[in-house]
Amino acid sequence: MKKSIYFLLFASLLYTSCKVDEEFEGPSLVDLYGDFSVVTGLDISNRNVNFSTGETTTFTAAFSKNVDWTVEVKGLQSGAVKRFSGFSNVIDASNATWNGTTTDLPMFRVEDCAVQLSIIGVADTLHDTLAVVGSKVYEGFVVADFENGWNSGWNTYVQSGANMSFAVQTNGNAAQGGRYYEMAGAVSWDWLIGLVNMPGSAYGSTYYPLTSNPSNLYFNTMLYKPAGIDNGLVLFQIKEDDNQDGMYSTGSEDMYSIQVSLTANGWSKISQRYDNIPTLVNGAASGPIGNGLHEPNKIIEVSVLFLANPTSGYSKTWMDYMIFTEGSALEP
């Protein structure tokens, strides 16, 4: 009898020690070694999508196992790119719905687009097309998009240097829409190459039509650096009329500034929450000039200065789509 009991106890312990844990961490054997096949090919829910009215489009596909995939949309005119990536066996509305935003600038415009689905480890790429019949519209106060050319309420100062160009351009290279502003030239005696002033009066009022809440407001714009030109600086000066007498008093009222050193080739987005924009003196953070309060509803003028070290020679940049947004930074 004792032998039987000992045998049962031994068998129970042996079974317990050899029992396999049902929870398994890491990739499944099917994902590692299973055969891959496309169960459902690439499809597009809306092939003529109007983002301007809030429409979206969804990319779909299904595979026999989980894979690393990428869906890439490229504008055939703009060169804009939107990219979705994931690791799954299904592409659907949960991971590949497009609302018109951009991964790589410029922004999409009304244009035909090429779509491709690529999978890591799979040689074949699936292709399709769609048409953007209305580009995405962004909420906010647009200071300048240059689509209507030069605003007669703006004013500019350009040095008498060499190869100067301060003008709206229309050549298909815009970050948004069809036009942008070029600033370029060589000035051997001064950092300033040229500037543009954009007063509130250019928009029909003394002050910019903005919220009084500085923590809910964002300044956004886009700048372009040509390859091989590395000496440009852009300084944005945002001037407030603290006492609201209808003018900005230099040296006694607040001016908040963003200085951008152009380092990355191509278009880049600049965004900053308004209450985080500092006072700058010669490029360094400084104490406030006026009352020290960020009061966007008192903004009376935005100035854009294009600068370069006078010993560095010719410099150039492009600017496009300056917009104040509320709630969040611009997501182009």
- Per-domain residue ranges for the chain? 34-134, 141-326
Token representation of residue 4: 């039987």
Site of tokens 């580009």: 135
CB atoms within 10 A of CB 180: 26
Fold equal for 34-134 and 141-326 = no
Task: Please check whether residue 192 is in contact with residue 307, taking contact to mean a CB–CB distance below 8 angstroms.
Answer: yes
Distances (CA, A) of 157 to 72, 74, 154, 184, 185: 43, 38, 11, 13, 13
Q: In the CATH hierarchy, which top-level class contains the domain 34-134?
A: mainly beta
The rounded distance, in Å, linking the Cα atoms of 195 and 200 is 16
Query: Can you point out the beta strands (E) in the chain?
Result: 38-44, 48-50, 57-75, 81-91, 97-98, 111-119, 126-134, 141-144, 155-158, 162-169, 180-186, 192-199, 217-225, 232-240, 255-261, 266-273, 279-281, 284-286, 299-308, 315-326
The rounded distance, in Å, linking the Cα atoms of 147 and 111 is 17
SS3 53: helix
Q: Enter the DSSP assignment of 93.
A: T
Q: What is the pLDDT along the chain (332 residues), one digit of tens a residue?
A: 444 444 444 444 444 444 445 554 545 555 555 789 999 999 999 999 999 999 999 999 999 999 999 999 999 999 999 999 999 999 999 999 999 999 999 999 999 999 999 999 999 899 999 999 999 999 999 999 999 999 999 999 999 999 999 999 999 899 999 999 999 999 999 999 999 999 999 999 999 999 999 999 999 999 999 999 999 999 999 999 999 999 999 999 999 999 999 899 999 999 999 999 999 999 999 999 999 999 999 999 999 999 999 999 999 999 999 999 999 999 99
The rounded distance, in Å, linking the Cα atoms of 194 and 12 is 87
> What CATH code is assigned to 141-326?
2.60.120.260
Residue 275 has φ and ψ, to the nearest 5°, of -75, -5
DSSP of 96-159: -EE-S--SBSS---SEEEEEEEEETT----EEEEEEEEE-----SEEEE--TT---TT-EEEE-
The rounded distance, in Å, linking the Cα atoms of 81 and 116 is 11
